[in-house]
């Protein structure tokens, strides 16, 4: 059921070529933002739902369209790295070094916010999350809007993040003013979020840029406890830290361990389960144990896992899966983002190991 509170409106859907931008379409989209409206657009990570990040009334429309809790902060997107100076009262040396190394790109920096950042963006916190995307459509839209654009993922709150224009249209048609449909997102999971107000910096949400990548630039970086434990902070400083996220309609259960352990756990669960069963794997493909079973692989390496994860979760819903049993990738720096998203999608439900 769609979340309550969203308006039934006419959504303008425009196809835009990321390699040969149509100036008139970018201008129309920028005008939507300047007028206080909402526009979904592609980024290199996932599609975002944007509004004028300095206009509280416009920002509230994002929450209404998504059915998003108001205590879940948003990320402000800027066109050039130096524009972060307008949004913060303090840019640490670690933040400067990370921005220089990874912007434009899939990294979000949490900094102390300046007075121009509305409470609606920061959920009332003294910090704000900022990123500079590398996607040409996102860059052009921010320039044309002439304002930082507040943008979470362009999906209904809690559902798998959208990596294609089709996903966005399915979720938000009739709920937002405009959707820019372009190429699929290159990365497929949201940006890495780092709290640079802490010493050492703390990763609040893992993404393509890893702990190892960051430590090569600034030295020690820590992981937020919630990434591995599932603990929810009372006042999250970043999206993706609280609430069940990224979930398909089907129930998701995880398996973790050796290939033999996960195989036994899945076989036991399939014996006891009703309905249509799906297996989503990042390891060996389990043979079909029942005629109606669906078996999908996320690929052969961590970058493929990231790229395919959300689209395959949505595909399994389309195929009518009632339960999804997931073989987790082995723990490691490069698999942390996918493991984090899967644990949120499953609500930290693991199949018991059949010893």
Q: Where are the domains of the chain?
A: 12-229, 251-346
| Per-residue confidence (pLDDT) for residue 282, from 0 to 100 | 87
* Alpha helices (H) in 196-274, listed in sequence order: 211-218, 225-229, 259-272
Q: Give the per-residue pLDDT at 5.
A: 46
Concatenated DSSP letters of 113-141: E-TTS-HHHHTT-SEEEEE----HHHHHH
Structure tokens at 147: 């304002």
pLDDT less than 70: residues of the chain: 1-7, 228-244, 286, 354-355
What pLDDT is stored for residue 214 in this prediction?
98
Number of H helices, E strands in the chain: 11, 16
Q: How far apart are CA 175 and CA 351, in angstroms?
A: 37
What is residue 228's predicted lDDT score, i.e. its pLDDT? 66
Q: Are 113 and 128 in contact (CB under 8 A)?
A: yes
**Residue-wise pLDDT tens digits, 62-114:** 999 998 877 789 999 999 999 999 999 999 999 999 999 999 999 999 999 99
Q: What is the pLDDT of residue 232?
A: 55
Structure tokens at 169: 């249209």
Encoding tokens for residue 2? Answer: 């769609």
Note the pTM of the prediction, 2 decimals.
0.92
Report the candidate in 55, 298, 60, 28 with the shortest Cα–Cα distance to residue 160. Answer: 298
Going by their DSSP bridges, the two strands 107-113 and 88-90 should be labelled as: antiparallel
Task: For residue 22, count other CB atoms closer than 10 A to its CB.
Answer: 13
Task: Tell me which fold the domain 251-346 belongs to.
Answer: Rossmann fold (3.40.50)
Predicted local confidence at residue 333, as pLDDT: 96
pLDDT digits (tens, 9 = 90+) for 214-255: 999 999 999 998 786 655 554 455 554 444 678 999 999 999
pLDDT of residue 7: 53
CATH architecture group of domain 12-229? Alpha-Beta Complex (3.90)
Task: Give me 93's structure tokens.
Answer: 């040396």
């Amino acid at each position: 059921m769609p979340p309550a509170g969203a308006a039934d409106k006419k959504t303008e859907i425009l196809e835009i070529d990321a390699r040969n931008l149509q100036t008139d379409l970018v201008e129309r989209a920028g005008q939507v933002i300047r007028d206080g409206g909402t526009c979904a657009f592609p980024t290199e990570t996932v599609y975002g739902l944007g509004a004028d990040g300095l206009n509280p009334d416009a920002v509230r429309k994002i929450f209404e369209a998504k059915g998003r809790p108001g205590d879940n902060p948003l990320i402000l997107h800027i066109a050039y790295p130096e524009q972060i100076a307008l949004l913060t009262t303090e840019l640490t040396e670690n933040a400067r070094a990370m921005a220089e190394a990874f912007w434009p790109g899939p990294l979000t920096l949490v900094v102390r916010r300046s007075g121009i950042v509305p409470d609606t963006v920061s959920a009332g916190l003294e910090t704000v999350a900022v990123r500079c995307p590398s996607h040409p459509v996102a860059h052009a839209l921010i320039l044309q809007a002439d304002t930082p654009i507040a943008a979470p993922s362009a999906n209904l709150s809690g559902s798998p993040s959208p990596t294609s224009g089709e996903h966005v249209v399915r979720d938000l048609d009739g709920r937002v003013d405009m959707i820019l449909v372009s190429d699929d997102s290159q990365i497929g999971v949201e940006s890495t979020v780092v709290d640079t107000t802490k010493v050492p910096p703390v990763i609040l949400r893992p993404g393509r840029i890893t702990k190892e990548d960051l430590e090569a630039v600034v030295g020690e970086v820590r992981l937020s406890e919630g990434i591995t434990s599932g603990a929810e902070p009372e006042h999250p400083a970043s999206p993706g830290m609280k609430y069940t996220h990224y979930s398909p309609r089907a129930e998701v259960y995880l398996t973790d361990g050796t290939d033999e352990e996960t195989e036994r756990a899945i076989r036991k669960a399939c014996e006891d389960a009703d309905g249509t069963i799906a297996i989503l794997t990042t390891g060996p493909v389990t043979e079909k144990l029942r005629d109606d079973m669906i078996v999908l692989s996320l690929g052969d390496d961590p970058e493929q896992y990231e790229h395919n994860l959300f689209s395959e979760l949505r595909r399994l819903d389309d195929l009518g899966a009632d339960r999804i049993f997931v073989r987790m990738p082995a723990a490691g720096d490069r698999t942390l983002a996918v493991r984090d998203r899967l644990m949120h999608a499953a609500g930290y439900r693991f199949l018991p190991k059949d010893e």
